[in-house]
């Protein structure tokens, strides 16, 4: 078991510097353009693929880093470059985590490579969980999966929303209800292979921030997929459903993780790292501006009102990173989140990103309110962190329930 440390080793530092160079030289110069276009930045994803950043091998190396710091370190550097472009590059990872968390070895080996494509033909993947009437309330999910035993096929019907890469993905991972009476315990995850009839893109959303990342509805109309596309397999699903039904009859309160929650628990510290990257970027812009902007004959950082804000910003960013690193290390080394440490990291880092980016705008004054400077874009991008993959309110609910042992509502 790797001991917790705040010192990156030489290999980690090399990867960090490599990613930082890509973020500074490729992502940042293009950030404003793709934010305005509100389109997937395919040329930049292609460049990331050529360099080996957008690849299964790269993310596998970071995911299996024994210290647990590979993924948060990578997320922070990429999102320091630009959140919208970075999400286009790493968005496939959520679908990949969904397969890793729930799939068999054969499914992992079959589908994850197809999510990324290759250097000459890059692909993306989508994880589809939220619905128009079932966001935080996953028990209200209406998308249904019905097993056709005669054909060994699953038939999916429903509408998913807020899906990163939804509709443009090569592979879609869809969470659907197989037993409505069990609520969230009756959910399962399915692979929808490329070009499957019945799957289509619905509304593409025009968003406040992360506008270079494609977000859309996914419509499923009598989508038939092979039985082998049920993640984990039918035998495992039937056993899990049988246990849940027995517990329901007995009035037991055993917690059974559903497919979506298994994915989100694994990814929350990574989202926290994204927020840290965005906050750090805004802080650095504000610090540089405060050192060079003069008012009343001296740099504005000479004023305590500005200097103290920057001190608080840096302190909060470092504290957020520490929470993220702790949660990532715990997850990798198999230590249970007995105090909901994963949710703590995501909650705190997300709130810090919103606050720090707002303070950066304030320090830049009128300039911060214009698109000539990047902090207004960073502030718009930061708003998503307290919303997706579990709102701040849901994180607080998870933490409170974990600490109290009560089903707080």
pLDDT tens, 92-108? 998 998 898 899 999 99
Q: Which residue has the higher pLDDT, 253 or 391?
A: 391
Same domain, 179 and 246: yes
In the predicted structure, residue 228 carries a pLDDT above the cut 90:
yes
Q: Indicate which residue of 77, 265, 376, 389 is catalytic.
A: 389
Same domain, 278 and 362: yes
Q: Which residue has the higher pLDDT, 101 or 79?
A: 79
pLDDT band at 66 (very low <50, low <70, confident <90, very high): very high
Is 131 catalytic? The answer is no
Is position 282 within any domain? yes
Tokens 């600490």, located at residue: 403
Between the two ends of the chain, the Cα-to-Cα distance in Å is 37
| φ, ψ at 222 (rounded to 5°) | 50, 50
Average pLDDT for 158-164? 96
DSSP string, 79-141: HHH-HHHHHHHHTHHHHHHHHHHH--HHHHHHHHHHHHEETTEE--EEEE--BTTBSS-GGG-
Query: What pTM does this model have?
Result: 0.91
Question: What percent of the chain clears pLDDT 70, i.e. is strictly above it?
Answer: 95
d(Cα 303, Cα 290) in Å, to the nearest integer?
10
pLDDT band at 165 (very low <50, low <70, confident <90, very high): very high
Which of these three, 122, 142, 160, is where a domain ends?
A: 122
pLDDT band at 239 (very low <50, low <70, confident <90, very high): very high
pLDDT band at 136 (very low <50, low <70, confident <90, very high): low
Which of these three, 250, 285, 311, is where a domain ends?
A: 250
Angle, CA 31 vertex, CA 27 and CA 32 arms, to 5° = 160
Kindly report, residue by residue over 258-308, the tens digit of the pLDDT.
Answer: 555 555 666 799 999 999 999 999 999 999 999 999 899 999 999 999 999
pLDDT band at 249 (very low <50, low <70, confident <90, very high): confident
In the predicted structure, residue 319 carries a pLDDT above the cut 60:
yes
Q: Do the Cβ atoms of 224 and 199 come closer than 8 Å?
A: no
d(Cα 125, Cα 103) in Å, to the nearest integer?
16
CATH number (domain holding residue 284): 1.20.140.10
Of residues 65, 74, 61, the one with CA closest to residue 22: 74
H/E stretch holding 163 reads strand 153-164
* 94-108 burial: b if 16+ Cβ within 10 Å, else e: bbbbbbbbbbeeebe
d(Cα 305, Cα 300) in Å, to the nearest integer?
9
Pairing of the two strands 171-177 and 125-128: parallel
d(Cα 223, Cα 196) in Å, to the nearest integer?
7
Is position 409 within any domain? no
Average pLDDT for 228-256? 82
On average, the pLDDT of the chain sits at 93
Handedness of CA 381, 383, 387, 393 (dihedral sign): positive
Same domain, 205 and 68: no
Same domain, 391 and 299: yes
Q: What is the largest CA-CA distance in the chain?
A: 82
In the predicted structure, residue 346 carries a pLDDT above the cut 50:
yes
In the predicted structure, residue 135 carries a pLDDT above the cut 90:
no
Is position 5 within any domain? no
**Three-state DSSP class for 35?**
helix
Burial class (CB in 10 A: 0-12, 13-18, 19+), 331: buried
Looking at residue 7, what is its pLDDT? 87
In the predicted structure, residue 81 carries a pLDDT above the cut 90:
yes
d(Cα 265, Cα 343) in Å, to the nearest integer?
8
Same domain, 348 and 395: yes
d(Cα 228, Cα 67) in Å, to the nearest integer?
34
Same domain, 16 and 111: yes
In the predicted structure, residue 351 carries a pLDDT above the cut 90:
yes
pLDDT band at 392 (very low <50, low <70, confident <90, very high): very high
d(Cα 45, Cα 123) in Å, to the nearest integer?
9
Question: What percent of the chain clears pLDDT 90, i.e. is strictly above it?
Answer: 82
Q: Do the Cβ atoms of 78 and 84 come closer than 8 Å?
A: no
CATH number (domain holding residue 15): 1.10.540.10
Tokens read off for 34: 């793709």
Same domain, 141 and 156: yes
Looking at residue 122, what is its pLDDT? 96
Same domain, 118 and 131: no
Is position 3 within any domain? no
Is position 31 within any domain? yes
Is position 14 within any domain? yes
In the predicted structure, residue 254 carries a pLDDT above the cut 50:
no
In the predicted structure, residue 123 carries a pLDDT above the cut 80:
yes
Same domain, 246 and 297: no
Counting the structural domains of the chain, the total is 3
Report the DSSP beta bridge partners of residue 273. none
Same domain, 291 and 243: no
Same domain, 114 and 242: no
In the predicted structure, residue 75 carries a pLDDT above the cut 60:
yes
In the predicted structure, residue 349 carries a pLDDT above the cut 80:
yes
Is position 146 within any domain? yes
H/E stretch holding 262 reads helix 259-292
Average pLDDT for 61-75? 93
DSSP string, 46-81: HHHHHHTSSSHHHHHHHHT-TTS-HHHHHHHHHHHH
The residue segments making up the domain with residue 333 are 259-404
Which of these three, 191, 222, 250, is where a domain ends?
A: 250
Is position 4 within any domain? no
């Amino acid at each position: 078991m790797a001991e917790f440390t705040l010192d990156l080793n030489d290999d980690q530092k090399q990867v960090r510097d490599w990613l930082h160079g890509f973020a500074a030289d490729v992502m940042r110069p293009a950030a404003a353009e793709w934010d305005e276009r509100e389109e997937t930045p395919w040329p930049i994803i292609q460049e990331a693929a050529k360099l080996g950043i957008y690849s299964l091998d790269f993310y596998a190396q970071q995911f299996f880093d024994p210290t647990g710091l590979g993924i948060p370190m990578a997320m922070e550097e990429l999102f320091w470059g630009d959140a919208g472009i970075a999400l286009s590059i790493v968005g496939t990872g959520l679908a990949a985590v969904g397969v890793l968390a729930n799939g068999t070895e054969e499914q992992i080996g079959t589908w994850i490579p197809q999510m990324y494509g290759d250097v000459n033909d890059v692909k993306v993947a989508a994880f589809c969980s939220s619905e128009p009437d079932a966001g935080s309330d996953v028990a209200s999910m209406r998308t249904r999966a019905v097993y056709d035993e005669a054909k060994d096929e699953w038939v999916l019907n429903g509408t998913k929303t807020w899906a990163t890469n939804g509709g443009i993905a090569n592979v879609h991972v869809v969470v659907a209800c197989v037993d409505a009476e069990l609520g969230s315990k009756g959910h399962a995850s399915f692979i929808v292979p490329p070009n499957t009839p019945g799957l289509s893109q619905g509304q593409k959303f025009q968003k406040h921030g992360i506008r270079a990342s494609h977000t859309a509805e996914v419509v499923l109309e009598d989508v038939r997929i092979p039985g082998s596309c049920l993640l984990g397999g039918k035998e495992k699903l039937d056993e899990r459903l049988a246990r849940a039904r027995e517990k329901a009859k007995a009035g037991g309160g055993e917690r059974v993780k559903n497919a979506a929650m298994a994915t989100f628990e694994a990814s929350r510290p990574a989202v926290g790292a994204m927020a840290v990257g965005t906050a750090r970027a805004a802080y650095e812009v504000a610090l540089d501006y405060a050192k060079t902007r003069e008012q009343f004959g001296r740099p504005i950082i000479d004023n305590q009102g500005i200097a103290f804000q920057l001190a608080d910003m840096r302190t909060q960013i470092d504290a957020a990173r520490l929470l993220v690193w702790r949660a990532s290390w715990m997850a990798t080394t198999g230590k249970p989140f007995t105090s909901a440490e994963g949710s703590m990291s995501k909650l705190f880092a997300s709130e810090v990103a919103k606050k720090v980016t707002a303070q950066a705008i304030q320090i830049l004054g009128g300039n911060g309110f214009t698109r000539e400077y990047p902090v207004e874009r960073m502030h718009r991008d930061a708003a998503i962190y307290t919303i997706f993959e579990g709102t701040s309110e849901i994180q607080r609910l998870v933490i409170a329930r974990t600490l109290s042992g009560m089903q707080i509502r």
